[in-house]
Amino acid sequence: MSSTPPGREGRFISIAGLLLTVTLGVFFGSLSYTMYHARAASYLSDDPTACVNCHIMRDAYDSWQKAGHHTAANCNDCHVPHDLVGKYLTKLDNGYHHSVAFTLDNFHEPIRARDSSRRVVLDNCLDCHVDLVSEMSASAGASGEPIDCIHCHAAAGHGPPR
């Protein structure tokens, strides 16, 4: 025989269900508001203005507008892989690291590319300019290190410093 008074069997489930519903509602409501406020959907596009949703990217965006690649390449052409899966995985990875750094106020100003981001840029340089550098890529250098286009051509993507 149950020690629960008649008619009270479902009460615990209702309170637990209510608490779970409220908790999930607050979580998803906060997440939705944050994504709306941060214009998260804009990061899925190829629009370069999405990059300046964060104020820290303003200098990079302004210098890109003065650079030689401005008319030929947008941010995604250089900063994410050209394949669909790699593109969105890189956007997800960078978005996560950017949001953590900005939330914790733990970033370098001016912003710097991580090694993984730099590698993507270099791969894209070689991919877009394959006809120009095909002979150089085969003989990567005396040390066997990959070619570092950015070393000599940093202003191609982001123009001269102010």
Q: Please give the share of the chain, as a percent, with pLDDT higher than 90.
A: 28
Task: Calculate the CA 97 to chain-centre distance.
Answer: 8
Give the CATH superfamily of 49-158: Di-heme elbow motif domain (1.10.3820.10)
CA–CA distance, 101 with 107 (Å, rounded to integer): 5
Tokens 């507008």: give the residue: 65
Domain limits, the chain: 9-38, 49-158
Which tokens is 156 given?
């191609």
pLDDT at 81 over 90: yes
| pLDDT given at position 86 | 95
